[in-house]
Structure 1
Amino acid sequence: MNVLIISTSDVNGGAAIAAFRLMKALHARGVGVKMLVRDKRSDSELVTRSGCKLMNDFRFYRERGEIFLHNCLSRNYLFDISIASTGVSVVTLPQFTQADIIHLHWINQAMLSTCEIGKIIASGKKVVWTMHDMWPVTGICHHAGTCTRFHHSCGDCPYLKRPSKNDLSRKIYKEKRAAYSLDRISFVACSRWLEEQAKRSSLTTDHNLVSIPNPIDTDQYSPGDKMVAKRNLGLPTDKKIVLFAAVKASDKRKGVDYLIEAARLLKDKGVLFLIAGSNGGEIAEQLPGVCLDAGFISPDRMPEYYNAADVFVTPSLQENLPNTLMEAMACGTPCVGFNTGGIPEMIDHHRSGYVAKYKDAGDLANGLHWTLFEADQQLLSENAREKVLSEYAEEKVVNRYLRVYAE
């Protein structure tokens, strides 16, 4: 069995990291697997960049430009939607022709056009598509929020400056429906929440749909001595540490405003907030009390940061199945997050952490306080680690994908 994974990137972003981890796990099981990307950043010989960088960059800016113009020169929602108007050609590549199964992941921002997706589906190859957000089952948006128009045909899109019944969202929805009709697709949702959303879309009608979580290496991400980790990182051992990590820490969709308010409510508790990710300084300046900006941390160093933390917080407003949450839990670090997306599937409330009311900074602060000062942290740690071992460990996830491939 030869599998070709197609992704916009190999290690840049949560969806890319999840796809890359799956590729490595499949390779370790003896599966003939390769990865095709637009943006290659790893040194893996299994990964090939499709197209030259200059043209790939041109396609990326061309598509963003189309969205910018369509929305009347507004930057609002510039990266909340994708239109798949351009991309690289893959169906004639040797990696494609040699593959038995084509496994799509996150393929936006000029990796694949809707036209190319149609060619892939019509090729006769078996197609599996892991959904890391809602885009495969909506017209143009990555997260529909409270909008339900994607159930039928989109239109009147709240992400567009001039929404109408036959706007761009409905046009792309129709293009997707035509492409998907060319053969059967096995859609995989990374969370049960996303599976339920996908079931409501008419785009998944007549296609297979299952839920399989992202995998994680539980040897790389494993519990360590907390005091040793704190000392190695130069962190105080006499303070409770709250870790917040994101690729772009200042992204409003990561709920930083709620984190800042929750920190204000905890400012007299002697808590240290540790920020990991780009632009973390923007948050650190606004957080009351003691705060440290660690900047961007490479993946191989993140386990030590998770182990140094007493709790990991993810106040995200839009999430599917966040890798950071899984990584923290694998290290035995209790977690606190909002009740949205796949987060409540991962955090077992009052068992491995705390699930706070959505967009409620006060309850987020309550969750942090409970986890740090009231709960049995050792028990929370053990439960978090056990949850990952039982549901997200690489071997368990790979076995489920192998069944999808075989079917």
Structure 2
Amino acid sequence: MKILLLSTYDFQGGAARAAYRLHQGLQSINVNSSMLVQNKYTDDETVIAPSTKLSKGFAKLKPNLDKLLLQLYPDCNRQFSPQWYPDAIAHKVSEINPDIINLHWVNAGYLKIETLAKFKKPIIWTLHDMWAFTGGCHYNQECDRYTKSCGACPQLKSFKEQDLSNWIWKRKANAWKNLNLTIITPSRWLAKCAESSSLFQHYPIEVIPNGIDIRTYKPVNRQVARNLLNLPQDKQLILFGAINATNDRRKGFHLLQQALKILSANYNDKIELVIFGASKSANTLALNLKSHYFGKLSDEISIALVYAAADVFVAPSIQDNLPNTIMEALACGTPSVAFNIGGMPDMIEHQKNGYLAQSIDGKDLAQGITWVLEDSERYRYLSNCARKKVEEKFTLEIQVKHYLNLFNKNYKKQNRYFYA
């Protein structure tokens, strides 16, 4: 059985990392797996990408080409994907001739909406956000129009029913009528959203969490980790990390700022902030708190070391699926604090391996951080439970087993129909 994973990137961003980890996990049990990507960042020979100078250059242009239609909506949220530009993916897939196609995050101009109907194989689509069943947005921000047919899109700042979001929704509805499609969501929350959508409510939906290599992400002696990273030994370190961490409002950095201002008033001489995924920004200058920036870390050993060096990881997102960062932190024995939204409750058990703030504000977030840090005996319990949670629910081996079962099920069904 030959598996082909489609992803815009192989190692750029959380969705790509999750897809690549799955690819590696399948290969580790001798499954014939390959990836087809638009932009390649690894040197893995089983990752197929544009190879000529011209095709590589064009691949880098495609995200901007896809955004051209957004010029009609100058005040819109730029996290919006029309996926209208022609591609040659169907031809490449045909050449590879897989038995199962596993889609992941395929935006930034990679895969045109209508291309899915050209695949003649079973499609397993792993959703990493809401785009697949909306009129173009990646997170709905409390709008429920995706349950109907979109239009008058708040993120486009549009009041017209026949707007870009409605056009995109109609394209999906027309092109995806008769797909051999199964949906996978990493979180229970995203599964419920997909089930309530007008586009996917009739397709089978499975919840399979992402998995990580717990041999890479593991507890490390905190003193050693801090020595290697040149971090202070006598402070409690609060860690925050996300790509474009301080610029994407959905990631909640503004709420973390509120929480840290509250904490700095009482604990300024005891706590410091560590940020990865972003370079030093003017956004933090208002904080009376010393901060350490690690920018974008590309290798997983360095990332795991940062988690191990921290006392608590904070994910202040106001809407999110199943962020890798929480899972990685817990695997390193670092308790985590987040809001009780999206896929957070799938990973964080309130006051067992972290803290789930109920109110979406900085005050409750600060309370959660304080609760995690204030009692050393309780902290050891939280740390042990954090690691145990990942060992029991989120290993790569567990994820691969579930995927392989689903791949086999669809492969057998396809062949039964073919030979009938």
Tell me if both proteins adopt one fold, taking TM over 0.5 as the criterion.
yes
Aligned to 2:162: 166
Aligned mate of 2:391, from 389, 392, 403: 389
Gaps of 5+ in 2: 410-420
Aligned to 1:233: 229
**Offset, 1:405:** 0.7
Counting only pairs closer than 5 Å after superposition, residues 3-402 of structure 1 correspond to structure 2 as 3-50=3-50, 52-67=55-70, 69-71=71-73, 73-74=74-75, 76-78=76-78, 80-93=79-92, 97-120=96-119, 123=120, 125-251=121-247, 252-267=249-264, 268-269=266-267, 270-298=270-298, 299-374=300-375, 376-402=378-404
Conserved 8 A contact 1:244-1:274:
yes
**Offset, 1:163:** 2.9
**Offset, 1:213:** 0.8
**Offset, 1:95:** 6.6
Conserved 8 A contact 1:3-1:101:
yes
Conserved 8 A contact 1:229-1:307:
yes
Give the TM-score taking structure 2 as reference length. 0.92
Conserved 8 A contact 1:260-1:288:
no
**Offset, 1:358:** 4.2
Deviations along 1:342-371, whole A, 9 cap, x unmatched? 112211000000011342100100000000
Distance across 2 between alignment mates of 1:60 and 1:289: 37
Distance across 1 between alignment mates of 2:34 and 2:57: 23
> Identity of aligned pairs, percent?
37
Deviations along 1:156-193, whole A, 9 cap, x unmatched? 21112333222221221111112221322010011000
Gaps of 5+ in 1: none
Distance across 1 between alignment mates of 2:325 and 2:283: 18
Kindly tell me: are residues 138 and 396 of structure 1, through their superposed partners in 2, closer, same or farther at Cα, counting changes over 3 Å? Answer: same
Distance across 2 between alignment mates of 1:183 and 1:277: 37
Give the TM-score taking structure 1 as reference length. 0.95
Kindly tell me: are residues 103 and 168 of structure 1, through their superposed partners in 2, closer, same or farther at Cα, counting changes over 3 Å? Answer: same
**Offset, 1:13:** 0.6
Distance across 2 between alignment mates of 1:249 and 1:168: 28
**Offset, 1:96:** 5.0
**Normalized per residue, which structure has more helix?**
2
Distance across 2 between alignment mates of 1:146 and 1:161: 15
Aligned to 2:415: none
**Offset, 1:283:** 4.1
Kindly tell me: are residues 146 and 249 of structure 1, through their superposed partners in 2, closer, same or farther at Cα, counting changes over 3 Å? Answer: closer
Deviations along 1:69-112, whole A, 9 cap, x unmatched? 220x33x411x211110153122226754200011000011100
Aligned residues: 400
**Offset, 1:332:** 0.6
Indicate the larger mover: 357-366 or 154-163. Answer: 154-163
Deviations along 1:251-287, whole A, 9 cap, x unmatched? 2221111111111111131211111122343344232
CA RMSD of aligned residues (A): 1.5
Indicate the larger mover: 45-54 or 269-278. Answer: 45-54
Counterpart AA for 1:257: H
Indicate the larger mover: 93-102 or 215-224. Answer: 93-102
**Offset, 1:308:** 0.6
